[in-house]
């Protein structure tokens, strides 16, 4: 009961923000609108905006069921769907549809989850616009280039206050979170750009431009109250670029006036990371015009890498972090789980970690696909992220070397197993930026840069626990030498996407963008040995029937402009 009350409270916070923006007796109606915000106005606005943003952040981990607990449950859905994660038993029934590739049963949750984020972000943006003119000033005069001042033209000086800087920061957080939702929608509800342009997407039945393929509605703070028709894939990528570029600029311009309270709050680094990943997914290796997006992906990822604010997990810590703490120097974005926010069995660790009281511990293990595991080189310490099954075959290939509770990282005894479920949730690591930079460099023909950024990760992935370190060093040196072959280079890059980020929700898009075809290993409960192709209809989610009934502008039979 306590959990239900706690998560309803988060919804109430967002609802209060909505009421604050609409009720006639709210503070928004009690003060005149003008170019300068009063201190009393700022204090009330700041409190309202921060409370509203907190409500949005709680959506990232909101519990509704044992297989619906926000972003980390979606990460599990998609890693199971693409075959990189395997369900080995079905004693309790959670996630078995995803192991079977049944995306139609999940689409309603995905849709509601991301549009809840979008709707509440738009509420925050309207609050900021209604009370403060900082956004109008940014658009009219530009961002500060001298402290809080900006020279707009030859004789016009625009001055920002520190209060306006804070409001601008809230605005940047909201458009970053909204862009995060749109980035995910276009990945799940649209084929990959290369499949759209090449005509290989099963759902489309022909060659199209991104501007001709309908995805889902786009809602902004200006048109959030009535059903919108679907926008195209090009509209989505363009909207994400515009919003995240603005967010990065705002975060950078007002940096010294903005305080990041915790790693759950998005900042300039998170916005850059999301932008770099969107650019990478926008690109098409078979289209010269798309090369610009690879260059933008490379440049944006490199900017974040060069800030040196985050570092790759070093060899010595490879098997000790448990990916369970936001204090890791590699984590750019993540949630610190506390007793107030823990969601128990309905959480990533409650489903995956055999050192927590979990479904995996009880036998419903979620493990690495054995074909993928077998492809990890012998020198690679990441093989030990996964249990070899020698002590207990039930736990074979489960990720107890990557994801494990800090309470008792070795025991599986019922007497001392972790029953607090306070392991933290990871959303973005710096290793992602190195992989983006490497892949973008490869697509641009800059193979030396690709090798540089890829091996920056693998240099820190040697098996330091092996008895024969000389053999490990020799094997790794031979592996690096082989990367001179560009075909081996791209396959090594693909493998590192799938292994380094296993269980973090990137496998689905890696299959669509890079891998294209896999064969599921024998350790899958369902459809073992099945060949999966990224062009199959199951990898483009269908719009839920509840939306097509509610929204008169959506005809599910119309996928492209040619269908109209």
Q: How far out from the chain centre does Cα 558 lie?
A: 29
Q: Report percent pLDDT > 90 for the chain.
A: 81
Q: Say what the pLDDT of residue 157 is.
A: 83
Helix, strand, or coil (residue 217): strand
pLDDT band of 155, cuts 50, 70, 90: low
Helix, strand, or coil (residue 203): coil
Alpha carbon distance 324, 332 (integer Å): 14
Q: Say what the pLDDT of residue 97 is.
A: 78
The pTM of the full predicted model, rounded to 2 decimals, is 0.92
Q: Say what the pLDDT of residue 27 is.
A: 28
- Among 474, 424, 480, 127, smallest CA distance to 262 is for 424
The full DSSP string for 382-428 is GGGGS--SSS-GGGTT--TTTS--SS-SS---TTTSB-S----EEEE
Vertex 520: Cα angle to 185 and 193 (nearest 5): 30
DSSP letter for 54, please.
H
- Residue 356, strand partner residues: 418
- Among 50, 32, 66, 194, smallest CA distance to 124 is for 50
Q: pLDDT by residue (tens digit) across 105-115?
A: 899 999 999 99
Length of the chain counted residue by residue:
564
Average pLDDT, the chain: 90
Alpha carbon distance 358, 76 (integer Å): 15
Q: Structure tokens of 552?
A: 């008169």
Work out whether strand 517-519 and strand 230-232 pair parallel, antiparallel, or are unpaired.
unpaired
Q: Say what the pLDDT of residue 197 is.
A: 95
- Residue 466, strand partner residues: none
Contact of 364 with 332, CB cutoff 8 Å: no
Instruction: Calculate helix-pair angle for 486-500, 447-458, nearest 10 degrees.
Output: 40
Element at 335 (helix H, strand E):
strand 331-335
To the nearest 10°, report the CA torsion of 274, 424, 115, 212.
30
**Helix count and strand count (H, E) for the chain:** 19, 10
Work out whether strand 366-368 and strand 85-87 pair parallel, antiparallel, or are unpaired.
antiparallel
pLDDT: which is higher, 12 or 541:
541
Contact of 425 with 350, CB cutoff 8 Å: no
Q: Say what the pLDDT of residue 200 is.
A: 96
7: left (phi over 0), alpha (psi -120 to 50) or beta: alpha
Alpha carbon distance 517, 157 (integer Å): 57
The domain defined by 2-303+493-548 folds into 1.25.40
Long-range pairs for 8-13: beta carbons < 8 A, 24 or more residues apart:
10/54, 10/55, 10/58, 10/59, 10/62, 11/55, 13/51, 13/52, 13/54, 13/55, 13/58
Find the DSSP H helices in 283-347.
291-306
Estimate the share of the chain in helix, then strand, then coil, as percent rounded to the nearest 5: 50, 10, 40
Q: pLDDT by residue (tens digit) across 395-408?
A: 999 999 999 999 98
Sequence spans of domains, the chain: 2-303+493-548
Contacts of 148 (CB under 8 A, 6+ apart): 159, 160, 161, 162, 165, 257
Does the structure show a pLDDT above 50 at 82? Answer: yes
Q: Stretch 59-78: mean pLDDT, rounded?
A: 96
Does the structure show a pLDDT above 70 at 212? Answer: yes
Q: Say what the pLDDT of residue 493 is.
A: 98
Q: How far out from the chain centre does Cα 557 lie?
A: 29
Q: Say what the pLDDT of residue 36 is.
A: 52
Element at 518 (helix H, strand E):
strand 517-519
Give the number of other CB atoms < 10 A from CB of residue 551: 17
| CA 241 vs CA 58, 119, 422, 482: distances in Å | 25, 19, 35, 36
Say if residue 430 is exposed, middle or buried (CB neighbours under 10 Å; 0-12, 13-18, 19+): buried
- Residue 390, strand partner residues: none
């Amino acid at each position: 009961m306590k959990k239900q009350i706690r998560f309803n409270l988060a919804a109430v916070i967002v609802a209060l923000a909505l009421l604050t923006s609409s009720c006639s007796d709210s503070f928004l109606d009690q003060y005149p609108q003008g170019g300068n915000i009063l201190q009393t106005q700022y204090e009330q606005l700041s409190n309202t905006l921060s409370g509203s943003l907190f409500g949005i952040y709680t959506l990232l981990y909101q519990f509704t069921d044992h297989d619906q607990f926000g972003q980390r449950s979606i990460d599990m859905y998609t890693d199971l769907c693409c075959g990189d994660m395997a369900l080995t038993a079905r004693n309790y029934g959670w996630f078995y549809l995803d192991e079977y590739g049944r995306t139609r049963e999940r689409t309603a949750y995905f849709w509601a989850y991301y549009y809840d984020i979008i709707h509440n972000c738009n509420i925050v943006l309207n609050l900021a616009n209604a009370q403060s003119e900082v956004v109008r000033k940014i658009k009219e005069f530009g961002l500060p280039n001298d402290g809080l001042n900006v020279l707009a033209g030859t004789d016009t000086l625009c001055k920002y206050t520190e209060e306006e800087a804070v409001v601008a920061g809230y605005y940047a957080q909201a458009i970053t979170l909204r862009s995060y939702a749109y980035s995910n929608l276009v990945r799940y509800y649209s084929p990959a750009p290369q499949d759209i342009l090449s005509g290989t997407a099963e759902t489309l039945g022909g060659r199209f431009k991104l501007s001709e393929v309908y995805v889902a509605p786009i809602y902004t703070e200006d048109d959030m109250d009535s059903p919108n028709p679907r926008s195209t894939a090009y509209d989505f990528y363009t909207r994400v670029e515009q919003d995240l570029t603005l967010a990065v600029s705002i975060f950078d311009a007002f940096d010294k006036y903005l305080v990041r309270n915790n790693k759950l709050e998005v900042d300039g680094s998170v916005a850059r990371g999301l932008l770099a990943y969107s650019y990478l997914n926008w690109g098409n290796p078979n289209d010269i015009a798309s090369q610009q997006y690879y260059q933008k992906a490379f440049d944006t990822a490199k900017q974040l890498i060069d800030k040196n604010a985050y570092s790759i997990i070093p060899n010595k810590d490879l098997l000790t972090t448990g990916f369970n703490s936001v204090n890791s120097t590699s984590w750019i974005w993540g949630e610190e789980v506390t007793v107030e926010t823990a969601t128990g069995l309905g959480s990533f660790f409650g489903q995956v970690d055999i050192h927590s009281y979990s479904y995996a511990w009880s036998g419903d293990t979620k493990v690495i696909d054995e074909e993928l595991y077998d492809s990890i080189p012998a020198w690679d310490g990441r093989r030990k992220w996964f249990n070899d099954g020698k002590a207990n075959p039930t736990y074979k290939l489960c990720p107890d070397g990557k994801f494990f509770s800090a309470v008792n990282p070795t025991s599986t005894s019922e007497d001392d197993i972790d029953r607090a479920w306070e392991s933290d949730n990871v959303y973005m690591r710096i290793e992602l930026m190195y992989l983006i930079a490497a892949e973008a460099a490869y697509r641009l023909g800059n193979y030396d840069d690709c090798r540089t950024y890829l091996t920056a990760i693998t240099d820190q992935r040697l098996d330091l626990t092996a008895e024969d370190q000389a053999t490990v060093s020799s094997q790794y040196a031979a592996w690096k030498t082989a990367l001179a072959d560009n075909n081996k280079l791209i396959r090594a890059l693909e493998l590192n996407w799938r292994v380094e980020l296993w269980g973090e929700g990137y496998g689905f898009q890696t299959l669509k963008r890079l891998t294209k075809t896999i064969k599921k290993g024998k350790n899958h409960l369902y459809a073992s040995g099945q060949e999966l192709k990224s062009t199959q209809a199951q990898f483009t989610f269908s719009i839920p029937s509840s939306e097509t009934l509610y929204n008169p502008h959506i005809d599910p039979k119309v996928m492209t402009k040619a269908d109209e």
